[in-house]
Structures are given as C-alpha cells and as structure tokens.
Amino acid sequence: MTSLTTGLKGRSELGVALLLGAAGVLVFLDANGLATPYSKSDPVGPKTVPFIVAGMLVVCAVLLALNVLRGGKGEAEGGEDVDLTHPADWKTVLPLAGAFILNILLIDWAGWVISGTVLFWGSVLALGSRRYVRDGLISVALSLLTFYGFYLGLGIALPAGLLEGIL
C-alpha cells in the first residue's frame, strides 16, 4: 500500500510544478502584450520585471518537476489541530468552500446579516458540529453583533440587503 500511495502523492505534487509553469507563461504573455514605446526617462520599462518573474517561475517549475520525479517531497505543514495521519478530508473542505461561495453570492443582495449567518452556520456544520439550533442562534447573533459593531463602533456600513429598513 505504501509504495502505491507515496507514488501517487509524489505525482500530485507535479500539479504544483504545472501551476508554477502556467503562472510563468501567463506572466510572460501578459507582459509581452504590453505596448511600450522606448522612453529615456524609464529605460527599464514595465516589461522587464515581469519577464524576470516569469523566468523565475518557469525555472522553479522545471526544477520542482525534476525534484519530484527524483523522489523529492514537500513537507505538509503540521499544527495544533492538524492530524496528518489521515488523508485530506474533502467532505469537510468542499462544503466549507460551498458556504464561503454562498456568502459571496448573497452578500450584496441579501446583506451581511443573512450571508454571514449562512457562512458561519454552514461552516460549523461542515466542520462537524451537530447542534443545529444552538449553532443557528450563535450564527445569527454573531452576524447581528458584527453588523452593528462595525456600524456603530467603526463607522463601516456593511450591506443591509434584504433587511434594509429593518436593521
């Protein structure tokens, strides 16, 4: 089992090399597309640094790919609540990202109080809490508190959205 999984894990890191390479090409193409007349007051121009960065990214991509193929491996980061003995738990991460995206879609239309409640409630559920009612109440309370706290305390008006006029 170990040789298969380590082999696969080693290969997934090639995706990072791919991403670096793609980013490098993107930076290069973007800079290449800039039209710049030569000017004496700016001999470096806006293209030079992007070209350097692009080169650096591509070189890193190639070296990383070689490193991974030779068996090199990035060390996953540990932490207080991190247990690296089990593989990534996508059943937690994807719903979490879902709650986050829902918040982005809702925030301008429905307002922070609603979207923030959705975000917190959704995240807590995704992370495995099963006390639906208590979690819901905490979510609403947090959103309301931050809404008024930001408005009254910091003078930042978060969008009220659908609840405009009520809040």
Partner 1 sequence: MDVWSSLMDGFATALTPMNFLYAVIGVVLGTAVGVLPGLGPAMTVALLLPVTYALEPTSAFIMFAGIYYGGMYGGSTTSILLNTPGESSSVVTAIEGNKMAKAGRAAQALATAAIGSFVAGTIGTALLAVCAPIVVKFAVSLGAPSYFAIMVLALLAVTAVLGSSRLRGFASLGLGLAIGLVGMDSVTGQRRLTFGQPLLADGLDIVVVAVAIFAVGEALWVAAHLRRTPLHAIPVGQPWMGKSDWKRSWKPWLRGTAFGFPFGALPAGGAEIPTFLSYVTEKRLSKHPEEFGKGAIEGVAGPEAANNAAAAGTLTPMLALGLPTNATAAVMLAAFTSYGIQPGPQLFESQGPLVWALIASLFIGNTLLLLINLPLAPMWAKLLQLPRPYLYAGILFFATLGAYSVNLQAFDLVILLVLGALGFMMRRFGLPVLPLILGVILGPRIEGQLRKTLQLSAGDPAGLLGEPIAVGIYVIIGLILLWPFAYKMFRRNRPERRPLIPANSGAADYSD
Q: Which is nearer to partner 1, 60 or 167 (CB)?
A: 60
The nearest distance, CB 58 to partner 1, in angstroms, is 9
d(CA 52, CA 66): 21
Q: Which is nearer to partner 1, 31 or 114 (CB)?
A: 31
The nearest distance, CB 166 to partner 1, in angstroms, is 20
* Contact call for residues 95 and 125 (beta carbons, < 8 A): yes
CB within 8 Å of 19: residues ≥ 6 apart: none
CA 60 to chain centre: 22
The nearest distance, CB 86 to partner 1, in angstroms, is 7
d(CA 47, CA 35): 9
* Contact call for residues 51 and 33 (beta carbons, < 8 A): no
Q: Which is nearer to partner 1, 86 or 164 (CB)?
A: 86
Q: Which is nearer to partner 1, 48 or 165 (CB)?
A: 48
What are residue 66's phi and psi, to 5 degrees? Answer: -60, -45
Rg of the Cα atoms in the chain: 24
Residue type, 56: M
Q: Which is nearer to partner 1, 114 or 159 (CB)?
A: 159
The nearest distance, CB 158 to partner 1, in angstroms, is 7
Write out the two tokens for 47. 């293209």
The nearest distance, CB 9 to partner 1, in angstroms, is 10
